[in-house]
Structure 1
Amino acid sequence: MPPRSEEPRRDATGSRRGSSRGAEPREPGVGGISDARAYTPRGRTIREGGAEQRRTPRSSRSGDPFRPALQVLDGGRAGRAGRREPAPAGEPARAGRRTTTPGGRAGVVRTVADRSAREPFDDEDEGPPPRRRPGPRRPAARRPVRKPRRPPRLGDAGRRLRLGTVLALTLFASIGVRLVYLQTVDTPAYADGGLPNRLAVVELPAPRGAILDRAGEPLAHSVEARYVFADPTRVKDRFATARLLSPLLGVPASELADKMRKRTLPGTDTPSQFVYLARGVEIGRAKQIMALDLAGINVHRDERREVPGDDLAANLIGFVSQDMNGLEGLEAKYDDVLRGQAGKRTYEVGLGDLAAPIPGGYSRTTQPKPGSSLRLTIDRDLQFMTQRILAKQMAQAKGSVGAAVIIDVPTGEVLAQASQPTYNAADPGKVDSPSDRDDAATTFVVDPGSIHKAITFGAALQEGVITPNTTLPVPNVIVRGGVPFQDTHKANGRTMSIPGMLAFSSNVGTIEIAEKLGKDRLIDYQKRFGLGQATGEGLPGEAPGRLLPADQWSGSAWGSVPIGHSVDATPLQMAAAYNAIANNGTYVQPHLIKETVGPDGRRTPGAAPTTRSVLSPANAADLRRMMEAVTTVDGPDGSATGLAAAVPGYRVAGKTGTGLRYDNGKKQPGEVGSFIGMAPAENPRYVVAVFVWSPGGGGGAVAAPAFREMMGYTLRHYRVPPSLTDKSPKFEVFPR
């Protein structure tokens, strides 16, 4: 028999088979290498296999070629050469059975059933089995079953894995939600966080609308220009810089040097870095300034208001500030229409030397909205000639103030409205007095005098108090309220016709007719003719005038009101009243605005003028025919007051007047001479009103000749044919 080997057998991995030295005992069923070895590839345990061997004959067991490989050797030691037979029934189970290994070595085969007899797979090596003495076999002693020690309870790995997974997913979900929130909700806030530091803003100015005449010719319009400014903190030598800029800007060098003096902003310690040197500089001149490359001097886009005619309609147009805000005249009245809305371009730029737009960066442009233009009813050529004639005639009366208005009869459009003195609207600061910029036609409040008599006679005709054939005895003087009223042309009590009263401007005859009319009806017709309220022509600051209420009439008012005293009116109001007579008795509100032209070219007509009936067409025609006596009567009894206003070739109806001027309720020295007329009298086309106030008198000598020239030019300008077939009627001043 070969000797028993002392070395344990090793498996294919090199480890000792059956040895569990140093390992903690494992609880059956929990897991371990011993349990893994206890199961065969066929899914049966050794115990099951042993039971099957006991039921199967030896011959069939020995024929299984895999059986030796499925056995577990006891420590790898050789057992007995022979096999132990299974214990007889009733005999206690032995610790093991001897068997022979394929290598011929004998060993003890442990089965699962053996575990009940001893501690399964002890760690210490078993020595060689003791020799048995011959004799009867004693049953093997049952070793006490020792309960295996339980390992320390550890956490469930699966639970820890699930918990960790949940925590990780929660963390990633929170991060994802936050990222989505930042990318969607808070994106503008974070994206724009540093944007202001990278933005550049360029203003896109909107041109101011133009003021045009009735033919579309510009009376005032805006052109592109430049303004020159200085940064005093960067100017190296302000005196040398001023000397270079002075001839280009037309500003004294001392004034420029003072502007460039270093100073701080009001109320702060911050140094001022901007000061205007000049506004509205021509582009060519600005290029010359930039070519000098002066430190601290720069230019920027500006707008300049140009008035091609200088003083042409300046008192109507007004002027604007350097910031293009209307200050006077139509520029102020319609500033919201003329002024455009500036736009701007905001874009992202690089920093430092790369201060240029960033392609694809932030950019937003608000387009400017140019202002609308005003097309007036003014005729530029007629306005020019009206101003020229008025200035020439007024040169005879020093220190005088004059106004002239020309109205298109059927429409009420103001074709010309001149004031004297006037000024250059392009340089409004160069005037002797701010009042020189006023529009005299709407702000010059006068006591109209005898031109008011046409209203009195018109009311009497309409109310049937008189007829064209009425005659009255007219004394030289009449007293009302203790105040004597007398005529310049003495009637000496003779009977005078209505045309004669108009021709010689009889105060006494007019007062007698007004007494038959009554003060209430006279006041009513004054209002119908447009007195006592502003016409609403369109100019700012228009005076409304004033009428004396009936309850305030004194005794003398019966004499003064009918002849145009104790009445405040403007030249435009009186011109509009005469236009009603010329327009067959229909009053038409005088107006200056013909239409508004939007920046897109769309035209919006001006507001329709107010109209109302004052006289019947027949009475208006009778009144016009009687008023022709003012410019035609010239006989042995005297000449009419308006012969100087006659226009050769045309029938003219009108009236002269001599009134007073009041300023803040105080009577001013001198007198106001006036003439208002219409032509052709048989079918009036135009009304011309001329007023001249002269402190030294003589205004009457100016008004009538000025009217003649203005009306003559107007009729020729619009090619009105002369009154060749219709001759002026013959009038009897003192019928027999």
Structure 2
Amino acid sequence: MPPRSDEPRRDATGSRRGSSRSGRGGDPRSGEPGVGGISDARAYTPRGRTIREGGGTARAGVGGGAEQRRTPRGGRSGDPFRPALQVLDGGRAGATRAGRREAAAGGRGAPVRTVSARPVREPFDDDEPPLRRRPGPRRPERPAARRPVRKPRRPPKLADPRRRLRLGTLLALALFTTIGIRLIYLQTVDTPAFADGGLGKRLTVVELPAARGAIYDRTGAPLVHSVEARYVYADPTLVKDRFATARQLSPMLGRPVSELAEKMKRRNLPGTGTPSQFEYLARGVDIDKAKQIMALGLDGISVHRDERREVPGNDLAANLLGFVSSDMVGLEGLEAKYDDLLRGQPGRKRYEVGRGDLAAPIPGGYSETTQPKPGSSLALTIDRDLQFQCQRILSDQMAQTRGSVGAAVVLDSSTGEVLAQASYPGYNAAAPTEVSSPTDREDAATSFVVDPGSIHKAITYGAALQEGVITPDTVLPVANSVIMGDTPFTDTHPANGRRMSIPGMLAFSSNVGTIEIAEKLGRDRLIDYQKRFGLGQPTGEGMPGEASGRLLPANEWSDSSYGSVPIGHSVDATPLQMAAAYAAIANDGTYVQPHLIKETIDPAGKRTPAAAPVRRSVLSPKHAAELRRMLEAVTTVDNGPGERATGLAAAVPGYRVAGKTGTGLRYVDGKRQPGEVGSFIGMAPAEKPRYVVAVFVWSPGGEGGAVAAPAFREMMGFTLHHYRVPPSATDKSPKFEVFPR
């Protein structure tokens, strides 16, 4: 289709064709000349244009010389409501209607001639409207300027409600999804953090004590065990008047008011800054007394299950057993040495509580419980009945002295088991604080270090026998005294230079004869046998703090040492060490480590035997038997006044006894103490010894010698009868000559 010109068409005369809007064609309803009314709006095409504006050509004549014209392209009526009217009318227009409007615009009665419209480009609604002209004289027309060609734009789309609905739905879903994710995060990920935010202020911790293991004797009888009790505690945050509360509790708990009030004082836990809600007021309170305390209804005061250590025998083996603190921690004796084994592992309960009137566990609140693990128990080698008798005998004998210290040990010679181990003074292990002096609580058998004195001579003679220096038939002239270095050594039973037998030297405890034999033995061999018999080192019996004693090293020997060491001076030893040495003689020359622990018993009842004791050979069985036979002279030789053996008081009726008396010295911190240490160690039956008993007594007045032998006799007699040992055959008892001819 040829392009349309923007210039208005002219007729043959050159005059411009008239517009339908010029002249009298104005619409009276619009009030504006040349503007169409509602009927013109209905003539719009579906594209929004009228036929006249779409390029159609209408020709009309007014009178005989009707003017012909073409509506300029893109011309508009100038009505601002035309688009709306166009929508209402649906954009449909009829050629007839358009023709009628053109005729009406040209004048009345003028014939109208309709020309078929040719296809033209339909302009859009946003084309420039034509300039409106004012009525009046017409100006000469100028050639129209060429209008720039503009790129047509698409008309805006109308709003789509379905699109708005979808968009709104998406926004709502996004909002709810975000909220849901946040809620899930708070309920799952951050829940512990928010829940634990104030948990520390609501938690109460209660310790669940673990039952402490018991200590039994060899027969299974309890020497010490735990019984159920109660502990009283305070929550300082709930105590209203701590001084008034303390005054009510003081007589029931046996504690000063000031002490109880101080424990109920409010304080913060170290390192946390939170107030303490638990303070012990008393441990091991009787159940009946605890019920009385709860009946008082004191604010902030409560009781809970506890245990109390109970010692059925009170002072029975107290120096061995020791005691524990109020917190069930071993402080002395076996309780301290095996505290880790006996104590077990306490449990703990942590739970939420309310505040004020709701100070009770919160149902469904946080609660965590760690169950306690009971401790294991110990079974000792001690015989309860024998222990009791030894303590009684020692105490009765020691009543003759003042400010004295005594110790007694009973050993099974073949196994090394300690059947009894008594100390004097003793104390009540159930009430240890009643003892004023810590030394009274010590076990004398392992901590009492002395010069053993003449009981050491058995080691010297045993070494000489084993090394072949002497035989049981050896006879030597013995002087009344001998000087070694600058120190004289004398005998209490002078031999006056007569020939004396080895059993006679032991019976009369000859210092001079023993020194002469030791000179033949030599210093180094004597030291070697001292070590073999267990001197100079702890026995490892099982008691804490056991003393090791001390042997004089060879490089420290002086001239006088050759005289003092063989007879038991310049030597430090404990009663238990010397008892173990004699047990080696009784056991055919084999040393067996003494021990107190028989077995351990775990909470499930499983029994585990203790480690096997150390064993070593010291003497041959032959020489051990010969030495035992010679030691029998100490309790049997009685040749009248002046020729009586030193140990006659230790003889046990009906049994052959081999042993030795001793008189030694005691040193404390290197200083010699006044008085002497009397001792006796023996074995029975001598022909085949089963038990060894050692008794040591230190007295400032020197009465120990008069106490030790009788105490031995009673202890050994009870031991033999207790274990039903048959009496010895009297016809086999040896006869000794002290001064052979």
Matched, 1:148 2:94: no
Matched, 1:485 2:489: yes
Q: Structure 2: how far apart are the matches of 1:211 and 1:238? A: 41
Where does residue 511 of structure 2 map in the other structure?
507
Instruction: Give the Å deviation of 1:458.
Output: 0.7
Matched, 1:434 2:438: yes
Deviates more, 1:157-166 or 1:219-228: 157-166
Matched, 1:598 2:602: yes
Measured against aligned partners, the alpha-carbon deviations of 1:444-487 in whole angstroms (never above 9, x if no partner) come to 00000000000011111111111111111111111111211111
Where does residue 666 of structure 2 map in the other structure?
661
Where does residue 719 of structure 1 map in the other structure?
724
Q: Percent identity?
A: 72
Measured against aligned partners, the alpha-carbon deviations of 1:93-115 in whole angstroms (never above 9, x if no partner) come to xxxxxxxxxxxxxxxxxxxxxxx
23 and 494 in structure 1: CA distance in 2 versus 1, 3 angstrom threshold: farther
Measured against aligned partners, the alpha-carbon deviations of 1:354-404 in whole angstroms (never above 9, x if no partner) come to 555555554332111011111111111111110100010011111110000
Measured against aligned partners, the alpha-carbon deviations of 1:657-712 in whole angstroms (never above 9, x if no partner) come to 00000001111110000000000111111100000000111110000000000000
Instruction: Give the Å deviation of 1:410.
Output: 1.1
Identify which of 634, 643, 647 aligns with 1:638: 643
**Unaligned 5+ residue runs, structure 1?**
1-17, 33-118
**Matched residue count:** 627
Instruction: Give the Å deviation of 1:168.
Output: 7.3
DSSP-derived class of the 2:218 partner:
coil
DSSP-derived class of the 1:673 partner:
strand
Structure 1 letter corresponding to 2:334: L
Where does residue 379 of structure 1 map in the other structure?
383
390 and 235 in structure 1: CA distance in 2 versus 1, 3 angstrom threshold: farther
Instruction: Give the Å deviation of 1:428.
Output: 1.2
DSSP-derived class of the 1:492 partner:
coil
Where does residue 549 of structure 1 map in the other structure?
553
Q: CA RMSD in A?
A: 3.7
Where does residue 137 of structure 2 map in the other structure?
none
Where does residue 57 of structure 1 map in the other structure?
none
Q: Taking structure 2 as the reference length, what is the TM-score of the superposition? A: 0.77
343 and 23 in structure 1: CA distance in 2 versus 1, 3 angstrom threshold: farther
Identify which of 430, 455, 458 aligns with 1:454: 458
Q: Is this contact kept in 2: 1:235–1:260, CA < 8 A?
A: no
Q: Is this contact kept in 2: 1:235–1:297, CA < 8 A?
A: no
181 and 260 in structure 1: CA distance in 2 versus 1, 3 angstrom threshold: closer
Instruction: Give the Å deviation of 1:273.
Output: 8.2
Where does residue 407 of structure 1 map in the other structure?
411
Where does residue 425 of structure 1 map in the other structure?
429
22 and 419 in structure 1: CA distance in 2 versus 1, 3 angstrom threshold: farther
Q: Is this contact kept in 1: 2:413–2:583, CA < 8 A?
A: yes
Q: Structure 2: how far apart are the matches of 1:140 and 1:179? A: 74
Instruction: Give the Å deviation of 1:299.
Output: 3.5
627 and 122 in structure 1: CA distance in 2 versus 1, 3 angstrom threshold: farther
Identify which of 197, 206, 220 aligns with 1:216: 220
Map 1:557-706 to 2 at 5 A.
557-636=561-640, 638-706=643-711
Q: Is this contact kept in 1: 2:99–2:114, CA < 8 A?
A: no
Deviates more, 1:676-685 or 1:275-284: 275-284
Identify which of 733, 736, 739 aligns with 1:734: 739
Matched, 1:256 2:257: yes
Instruction: Give the Å deviation of 1:432.
Output: 3.8
Measured against aligned partners, the alpha-carbon deviations of 1:519-556 in whole angstroms (never above 9, x if no partner) come to 11111110010000001111111110000111111111
Deviates more, 1:283-292 or 1:269-278: 269-278
Structure 2 letter corresponding to 1:709: E
Instruction: Give the Å deviation of 1:346.
Output: 3.1
Structure 1 letter corresponding to 2:647: G
Q: Is this contact kept in 2: 1:692–1:702, CA < 8 A?
A: yes
179 and 290 in structure 1: CA distance in 2 versus 1, 3 angstrom threshold: closer
Instruction: Give the Å deviation of 1:343.
Output: 1.0
Q: Structure 1: how far apart are the matches of 2:454 and 2:196? A: 76
Measured against aligned partners, the alpha-carbon deviations of 1:209-255 in whole angstroms (never above 9, x if no partner) come to 1111111111111122223456788465947973x55554455xxx3
Q: Is this contact kept in 2: 1:20–1:122, CA < 8 A?
A: no
Map 1:37-186 to 2 at 5 A.
121=93, 126=98, 128=100, 140=116, 142=118, 146-149=122-125, 150=153, 152-153=155-156, 185-186=189-190
Instruction: Give the Å deviation of 1:288.
Output: 2.1
307 and 573 in structure 1: CA distance in 2 versus 1, 3 angstrom threshold: same
Q: Structure 2: how far apart are the matches of 1:499 and 1:410? A: 25
126 and 455 in structure 1: CA distance in 2 versus 1, 3 angstrom threshold: same
Matched, 1:321 2:321: no
Instruction: Give the Å deviation of 1:431.
Output: 1.9
Q: Structure 2: how far apart are the matches of 1:23 and 1:428? A: 126
Where does residue 472 of structure 1 map in the other structure?
476
Deviates more, 1:145-154 or 1:526-535: 145-154
Q: Is this contact kept in 1: 2:383–2:419, CA < 8 A?
A: yes
Structure 2 letter corresponding to 1:389: I
Q: Structure 2: how far apart are the matches of 1:560 and 1:524? A: 17
Identify which of 319, 334, 337 aligns with 1:333: 337
DSSP-derived class of the 2:473 partner:
coil
Where does residue 102 of structure 1 map in the other structure?
none
DSSP-derived class of the 2:419 partner:
strand
Q: Structure 2: how far apart are the matches of 1:508 and 1:572? A: 27
Deviates more, 1:188-197 or 1:314-323: 188-197
Measured against aligned partners, the alpha-carbon deviations of 1:628-650 in whole angstroms (never above 9, x if no partner) come to 00000111461100000000000
171 and 672 in structure 1: CA distance in 2 versus 1, 3 angstrom threshold: same
Q: Structure 2: how far apart are the matches of 1:686 and 1:23? A: 144
581 and 23 in structure 1: CA distance in 2 versus 1, 3 angstrom threshold: farther
Where does residue 501 of structure 2 map in the other structure?
497
DSSP-derived class of the 1:684 partner:
coil
Q: Is this contact kept in 2: 1:651–1:727, CA < 8 A?
A: no
**Unaligned 5+ residue runs, structure 2?**
1-37, 50-90, 126-152
Measured against aligned partners, the alpha-carbon deviations of 1:53-85 in whole angstroms (never above 9, x if no partner) come to xxxxxxxxxxxxxxxxxxxxxxxxxxxxxxxxx
DSSP-derived class of the 1:493 partner:
coil
DSSP-derived class of the 1:595 partner:
strand
Deviates more, 1:141-150 or 1:425-434: 141-150
Where does residue 53 of structure 1 map in the other structure?
none
Structure 2 letter corresponding to 1:445: V
DSSP-derived class of the 1:450 partner:
helix
Measured against aligned partners, the alpha-carbon deviations of 1:485-528 in whole angstroms (never above 9, x if no partner) come to 11111111111111111111111111111111111111111001
Q: Is this contact kept in 2: 1:22–1:123, CA < 8 A?
A: no
Deviates more, 1:371-380 or 1:562-571: 371-380
Structure 1 letter corresponding to 2:209: P
Instruction: Give the Å deviation of 1:183.
Output: 5.3
DSSP-derived class of the 1:446 partner:
coil
Q: Structure 2: how far apart are the matches of 1:526 and 1:621? A: 19
Q: Taking structure 1 as the reference length, what is the TM-score of the superposition? A: 0.77
Map 1:269-418 to 2 at 5 A.
278-294=282-298, 297-348=301-352, 353=357, 357=361, 360-418=364-422
Measured against aligned partners, the alpha-carbon deviations of 1:598-649 in whole angstroms (never above 9, x if no partner) come to 1111111112111111111111111111100000011146110000000000
Q: Is this contact kept in 2: 1:20–1:123, CA < 8 A?
A: no
Instruction: Give the Å deviation of 1:570.
Output: 0.4
Instruction: Give the Å deviation of 1:298.
Output: 4.2
Q: Structure 2: how far apart are the matches of 1:309 and 1:136? A: 148
Where does residue 7 of structure 1 map in the other structure?
none
